[in-house]
Amino acid sequence: MWVALSRPRPRGRLSRFARRYPVAVAAAAFLALLGVAALFAPWIAPYDPLANDYLSMFSPPGPKHWLGTDSFGRDILSRLIFGSRTALLVGLSSSVIGATVGAVVGVASAYFGGTVDLVIQRVTDILVSFPLIVLAMAMVAILGSGTANLVAAIALSFAPRAELVVRSSALQVRHTTYVEAARAVGAGPWRIILRHMLPNVMAPYLVMLTAFLGQAILLEASLSFLGLGVAEPTPAWGLMLSGAAVDFVQKAPWMAVFPGLAITLTVLAFNVLGDALRDALDPKLRV
C-alpha cells in the first residue's frame, strides 16, 4: 500500500487523499507551519527566548508581547516558537528511533522464530505491561537527564509497543514465497530481514510512527513537567507548563494556557494525520 503511494502519478493519489481527508490536510498544513516556525525560529521569534527581562515580568498578552511574558520576563510567543524545535526534535527522533528499533527487533524476532522469538516476546510482553510514563521515568532514571537521554528514554519506551505490532505483520510475510525464495538462493538472514521483510511491514510501521509522534510530544511534556525532561532555560512546552506556570497560575494564567494549547494542537494534528494515514494505508483497519 505504501509502495502504491510513492508510485508515479502521485498527484492524483494525493489529491484524492486530500478530498477524502480534508481535516487531515488542515492538520498537515498546521504541522508544516510548525515545521517552518521551528526551522526559522531565530528570524520569526520577536524576542530572544532566553533573554530575561526583569522590567517586564508577568506582562499580560498585549501589543508588545502578544502572548505575554513569564516569571523571568521572557516572551512566551518566542519561547513557544523555539519550543516547537524541542517538541519536534524530541517527538520526531524518539518516534523514529523507537519505531525503527521496534520494527527491526520485531522482524528479526519473526524471522528467527524459536527460542529467540520466545525470549524477545516474553520481554516485550512484560515491557508493554507498564504504563508508558512509568517505563519512561524508569528509563530517564537509568540514563540520566539531558535532551539526548530523554529521546533515548522515550524511544526505548515505545520500542516494545512497535515490536508487538510489527512482529505480527512480519509473521505473515515470513512464509510468503519470495522470502522463501530469497532463502533458497542463499541470502543471509540480515539481508532477508533488511531487504525483503522490513519493506513489507512499512504500512504498520508508518501507522505506529504517526501514532507515536503525538504520544512522544505528550510524554516529553509530562516528563518535563515532572522535572525529568529538558532543562530550564531551554524553551520547551512541557517545561513552560511546570513550576512557575502552576505556582503563578492565578496571577498569570497565560503562562499555563498557551503552552498547553500548543501541545494540544500539535498532538491533535499528529493524531488526525495519523488516523487518516492509517485509513489510507491499512484498509483492514478502515472502519
Partner 1 sequence: MYARPWARTAGAFALALAVLVAASGTVGNSAPAPQPRRGGSLNFIVSAEPPSFDGHRETTFAVIHPIRPHYNLLVKFDPFNYPKVVPDLAESWTVSEDGLTYTFRIRSGVRFHDGSLLTSRDVKASLDKIIFPPQGVVSARQAMYEMVESVSAPSPNTVVIRLKWPSATFLEKLASPFNWIYKADILERDPRWYERNVMGTGPFRFKEYVRGSHWEGVRFENYWKPGRPYLDGYRALFISSPAAQTAAIKFGQALVEFRGFAPAQRDEVVQFLGDRVTVQESGWLCNLLVVPNNQRKPFDDFRVRRALTLAIDRWGGSRALSQITFMGPVGGVMRPGGPFATPEAELTKLAGFGRDMEAARQEARRLLREAGVPEGFEFTVKNRNVPMPYIPGGVFLVDQWRQIGLNARHVIQETGPYLADLRAGNFDVGVDFTCDFFDDPDVQLAKFVSSDRSPLNYARYTDRLLDGLYRQQSRERNLQRRLQVVRQFERRVLSDRAYQFHLLWWQRIVPHWKRLQGYKVSPSHYLEDLEEVWLSE
Partner 2 sequence: MLRYVLARLVLVVPTLWAVATLIFLLVRVIPGDIVELRLVSGGSYVTPEVIQQERGRLGLDKPLWAQYADWIVGLARLDLGTSMWTGAPVSKEIALRLELSLQLAVMATVVAVSLALPLGVWAAVRRGTWADHLVQVFSVAGLATPSFWLGILLLLFLLYAFRWLPPMTFTPLWVNPVANLSQLVWPALAVGYRYSAVATRMTRSAMLEVLREDYVRTAWAKGLAERAVVLRHALRNALLPVVTVIGLEFAFLIGGLVVTEQVFNLNGIGKLFVDAISRRDYTLIQGLMLLVASAYVLVNVLLDLLYARLDPRIRYA
- Residues of the shown chain interacting with partner 1 in the complex, contacts defined by CB under 8 A: 50-52, 54, 57, 71-72, 141, 144-146, 227-228, 231-234, 242-244, 246-251
Residue located via cell numbers 494534528: 269
Residues 235-254 touching partner 2, rule: CB under 8 A, are 238, 241, 245-246, 249-250, 253
Distances (CA, A) of 257 to 26, 51, 85, 212, 264: 23, 21, 19, 24, 11
What is residue 54's DSSP assignment? Answer: T
Considering the complex, state which of residue 58 and residue 182 has its C-beta at the smaller distance from partner 2: 58
* Residue 72, contacted partner among partner 1, partner 2, none, CB below 5-8 A by kind: partner 1
Asked whether the beta carbons of 205 and 168 are under 8 A apart, the reply is: no
Considering the complex, state which of residue 99 and residue 137 has its C-beta at the smaller distance from partner 2: 137
Hey, how many other C-beta atoms are within 10 angstroms of the C-beta on 68? 21
Report d(CA 221, CA 238) in Å as an integer.
Answer: 4
Does 34 help bind partner 2 (rule: CB under 8 A)?
no
Residue located via cell numbers 538462493: 185
Instruction: Find the shortest distance in angstroms from Cβ 1 to partner 1.
Output: 44
Considering the complex, state which of residue 202 and residue 262 has its C-beta at the smaller distance from partner 2: 262
* Residue 218, contacted partner among partner 2, partner 1, none, CB below 5-8 A by kind: partner 2
* Residue 231, contacted partner among partner 2, partner 1, none, CB below 5-8 A by kind: partner 1
- Residue 282 grid cell: 491499512
- Binding residue (CB under 8 A) for partner 2 from 1, 4, 123, 181: 123
Instruction: Find the shortest distance in angstroms from Cβ 90 to partner 1.
Output: 16
Distances (CA, A) of 195 to 116, 183, 271: 21, 12, 30
